[in-house]
């Protein structure tokens, strides 16, 4: 789809780049000539992914970093600058999520997700943005969801946080344009990943089939489809796209907004069982 040098010599920081969609996007960026920094909380996951990403030909720096902690974010950015001298592109992809009836949430549960998604995105944007301002050049891409604007029941912390990230994207598209920094977002529909499926698709209820059927195209997204869209948006070829959110969901939200609203059908007793199982496994 692209010339192989589309992202040649670009330095790209991907949060949550060790798993799922972040890893798939980082792989594509590497294939297109970029050098990479990936960061997340689990050092072993990041180290393994960094080794794999090197097979694309990219130089890769893997950093253990919790995006909720500003000091760790600053350390990741310093390490990136030490190795590469600059950061051209920031992909805010790290996220936390789970399904829960809102009345069963604790303030700690709400905060856990909002801190990763909204505060974490801000922390990385601030630390990397300051460098981009010095460079007078940069591109920021944030991963949101379609329920950032439609809302969805049963994922209130994530919906609230992603709506904040979308507002941040559009606000900075205007404010930081004077520094030649573009801000855009992608709203993916359902793309199977271990991290999302484990937390959002309760097993044994045939939910996966129903999820697929909600999509007018009757299938889930393929990682490469998302990775190609991200590659285009961060590249210089998209130099006039600023403040946009591009949906890639097979038409899903137009047919029936709020992916998790249908969890209304789950009986209360099942939520209570899931809560008990989670607390037991946490112990």
d(CA 176, CA 56): 32
Task: List the single partner that 109 binds among ligand HXC, ligand NAP, none, CB under 5 to 8 Å by kind.
Answer: ligand HXC
Task: List the single partner that 68 binds among ligand NAP, ligand HXC, none, CB under 5 to 8 Å by kind.
Answer: ligand NAP
Q: Does 271 contact ligand NAP by CB under 6 A?
A: no
DSSP symbols for the chain? ---TTTTTT-EEEEETTTSHHHHHHHHHHHHTT-EEEEEES-HHHHHHHHHHHHTTT--EEEEE--TT-HHHHHHHHHHHHHHHS---EEEE---------GGG--HHHHHHHHIIIIIHHHHHHHHHHHHHHHHT-EEEEEE--THHHH--TT-HHHHHHHHHHHHHHHHHHHHTGGGTEEEEEEEE-----HHHHHHHS-TTS-HHHHHHHHSTTSSPPPHHHHHHHHHHHHSGGGTT--S-EEEESTTHHHHSS-TTGGGGGS-HHHHHHHHHHHHHHH-
CB atoms near residue 33 (< 10 Å): 18
CB-wise, 34 or 166, nearer to ligand NAP? Answer: 166
Site string for ligand NAP, 131-170 (x = CB under 6 A): ------------x-x-------------------------
- To the nearest whole angstrom, how small is the minimum distance from the Cβ of residue 23 to ligand NAP? 7
40 within 8 A of 18, measured Cβ to Cβ: yes
Q: Pick from 14, 34, 36, 45: which binds ligand NAP (CB under 6 A)?
A: 45
Select from 87-95, 101-109, 210-218, 231-239 the region that touches ligand NAP (CB under 6 A): 87-95
CB-wise, 178 or 283, nearer to ligand HXC? Answer: 283
- To the nearest whole angstrom, how small is the minimum distance from the Cβ of residue 199 to ligand NAP? 8
- To the nearest whole angstrom, how small is the minimum distance from the Cβ of residue 133 to ligand HXC? 29
Counted residue by residue, the chain has a size of 283
- To the nearest whole angstrom, how small is the minimum distance from the Cβ of residue 21 to ligand NAP? 4
Task: List the single partner that 129 binds among ligand HXC, ligand NAP, none, CB under 5 to 8 Å by kind.
Answer: none
- To the nearest whole angstrom, how small is the minimum distance from the Cβ of residue 238 to ligand HXC? 24
CB-wise, 34 or 155, nearer to ligand HXC? Answer: 155
Q: Pick from 96, 129, 138, 157: which binds ligand NAP (CB under 6 A)?
A: 96
CB-wise, 66 or 131, nearer to ligand NAP? Answer: 66
Q: Give the active site residue among 147, 154, 179, 240.
A: 147
139 within 8 A of 89, measured Cβ to Cβ: yes
CB-wise, 165 or 181, nearer to ligand HXC? Answer: 165
- To the nearest whole angstrom, how small is the minimum distance from the Cβ of residue 211 to ligand NAP? 9
d(CA 140, CA 91): 6
CB-wise, 255 or 272, nearer to ligand NAP? Answer: 255
**Is 240 a residue of the active site?**
no
Q: Pick from 101, 109, 153, 195: which binds ligand NAP (CB under 6 A)?
A: 195
Active site residues: 147
């Amino acid at each position: 789809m692209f010339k192989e040098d589309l992202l040649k010599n670009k330095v790209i920081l991907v949060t949550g780049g060790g798993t799922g969609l972040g890893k798939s996007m980082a792989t594509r960026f590497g294939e297109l000539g970029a050098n990479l920094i990936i960061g997340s909380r689990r050092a072993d996951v990041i180290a393994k992914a960094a080794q794999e990403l090197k097979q694309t030909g990219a130089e890769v720096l893997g950093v253990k970093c919790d995006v909720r902690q500003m000091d760790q974010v600053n350390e990741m950015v310093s390490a990136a600058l030490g190795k590469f001298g600059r950061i051209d592109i920031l992909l805010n992809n790290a996220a936390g999520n789970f399904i829960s009836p809102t009345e069963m949430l604790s303030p700690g549960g709400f905060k856990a997700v909002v801190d990763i998604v909204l505060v974490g995105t801000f922390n990385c944007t601030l630390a990397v943005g300051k460098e981009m301002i010095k460079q007078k050049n940069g591109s920021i891409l944030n991963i949101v969801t379609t329920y950032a604007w439609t809302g969805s029941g049963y994922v209130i912390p994530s919906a609230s946080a992603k709506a904040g990230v979308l507002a941040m994207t559009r606000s900075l598209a205007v404010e930081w344009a004077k520094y030649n920094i573009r801000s855009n977002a992608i709203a993916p529909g359902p793309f199977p990943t271990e991290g999302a499926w484990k937390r959002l698709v309760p097993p044994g209820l045939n939910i996966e089939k129903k999820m697929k059927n909600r999509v007018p195209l009757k299938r889930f997204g393929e990682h490469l489809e998302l990775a190609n869209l991200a590659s285009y948006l961060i590249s210089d070829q998209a130099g006039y796209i600023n403040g946009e959110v591009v949906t890639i969901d097979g038409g899903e939200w137009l047919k029936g907004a709020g992916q998790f609203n249908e969890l209304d059908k789950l009986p209360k007793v099942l939520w209570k069982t899931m809560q008990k199982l989670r607390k037991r496994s946490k112990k």
